[in-house]
Structure 1
């Protein structure tokens, strides 16, 4: 963590400079048995490739709105940081019809179709696998991203005070928009409230549909120099199975 970091992409850059081999995201899908562990370097490489896809192939510009229709998943975390790196507003669960482009998982393709801009689909298969047959009207992320460059540089500097993230605000109204600087500020505050320190390991079973899940499952650990064990479809896990995971993954904090 660097005091001068003002966007989530800055936080990732500091983590990469500090210890590229350190685990950052460990992902479990308890419906498929998948386990994926990404070091800071591997995660940053995925972010760079995705940011290059966004900026070059999809033509996204700072301030464009991307409807992010994905569950809590390691690839969702990649897209969130790629949006930060390019200045694109990540609208979590947003209205595709109002977005400039949309990224959707296999269960959200119908909701994504009203987008008049570019549409990207993620199969969310183990090891980042592609669709057996690409959905009509969508680019298959797993096909498009491997050939992208391993380093990313934005065409224009990202303004940390510009809108960066939109999250559902509940029944009171529309989405809450946060600047990159505000995301970092809130993530640091949450990390302090949870007692996270460098090297901490957070297990989160929360979804990415609100700030609490996004913070526990990505932003707060990143801000603290910690790592996250992100668990999807874990509701059916018996308490003893979860306890074994906590022990085997050397978890220090939980969010459920």
Structure 2
């Protein structure tokens, strides 16, 4: 028996019922490790949602191109776009125009009207590179927004929430239904690659949503050496596969 599928907003609220429990643990190259509890994840998403709504009037119909690799910051940005009722685009050729471009490489988008530059390192305090005039340095800007969402439009469940190589997904189909009879899998390993866009990023987002919807948590890894991977998964108690 499955339970009703939650919205992104209610999913995040559910995660804060155990505010200190790790929900996303990120391992990247160069031994980087970042852990986001339910409360911290919601805080990041709220701040990013406020930026999208206040700076770009993001809402239903807004298309946000995420030119980002499989990364914990990509998960935060995707959740924020959906919380604002907007659409994540991972495949520009399939998604057509983008109203906002969020990227680690702003120089690759010279014609973008609305541009957000993102630095991936956890300790970055500003974008490490040239930020074009009029663009937003997300690393510095996100932290200036409120911890709680001031206002965000409701998502249209039938509207497109995700456009990627795997096809289009509606808001109502973003979060998979949870089977109450299925044994819990509290800690799931979700591997990613360092590439931007593509099926790998879409798969990461789908797998993370599935794990969080089941009240689980994710160990997200990117380009981790095999020997180190084996050790850290054993240390984290993470199961392979979503």
Q: What TM-score does the superposition give when structure 2 sets the normalisation length? A: 0.86
1:224 aligned residue = 214
Q: Secondary structure at the match of 2:13?
A: helix
8 Å CA contact 2:71–2:220 kept in 1: the answer is yes
1:209 aligned residue = 198
| CA offsets 1:17-60 (integer angstroms, 9 cap, x no match) | x3121111111112x32100000100100000000000012222
Q: Secondary structure at the match of 2:218?
A: strand
Q: Classify 1:161/1:14 alpha carbon distance in 2 versus 1 (closer, same or farther; 3 Å).
A: farther
8 Å CA contact 2:155–2:171 kept in 1: the answer is no
8 Å CA contact 1:7–1:84 kept in 2: the answer is no
1:188 aligned residue = 177
Question: Matches of residues 46-85 of structure 1 in structure 2 within 5 Å?
Answer: 46-85=44-83
What RMSD, in angstroms, separates the aligned Cα atoms of the two structures? Answer: 2.5
Distance 1:196 1:72 in 2: 27
Distance 1:196 1:163 in 2: 31
1:156 aligned residue = 153
Q: Secondary structure at the match of 1:26?
A: strand
Q: Secondary structure at the match of 2:46?
A: helix
Higher RCO structure, 1 or 2 (CA under 8 Å, sep 6+): 2
Question: Matches of residues 53-202 of structure 1 in structure 2 within 5 Å?
Answer: 53-94=51-92, 98-106=97-105, 109-115=106-112, 117-137=113-133, 138-169=135-166, 176-184=167-175, 187-188=176-177, 197=184, 200-202=186-188
Distance 1:224 1:188 in 2: 9
8 Å CA contact 2:188–2:240 kept in 1: the answer is yes
Q: Secondary structure at the match of 2:173?
A: helix
Q: CA deviation at 1:110?
A: 3.7
Unaligned runs of 5+ in 1: 170-175
1:25 aligned residue = 24
Q: Secondary structure at the match of 1:72?
A: coil
Q: CA deviation at 1:134?
A: 4.1
Q: CA deviation at 1:89?
A: 0.4
Unaligned runs of 5+ in 2: none
Distance 2:7 2:198 in 1: 20
| CA offsets 1:146-171 (integer angstroms, 9 cap, x no match) | 110110143432222221111213xx
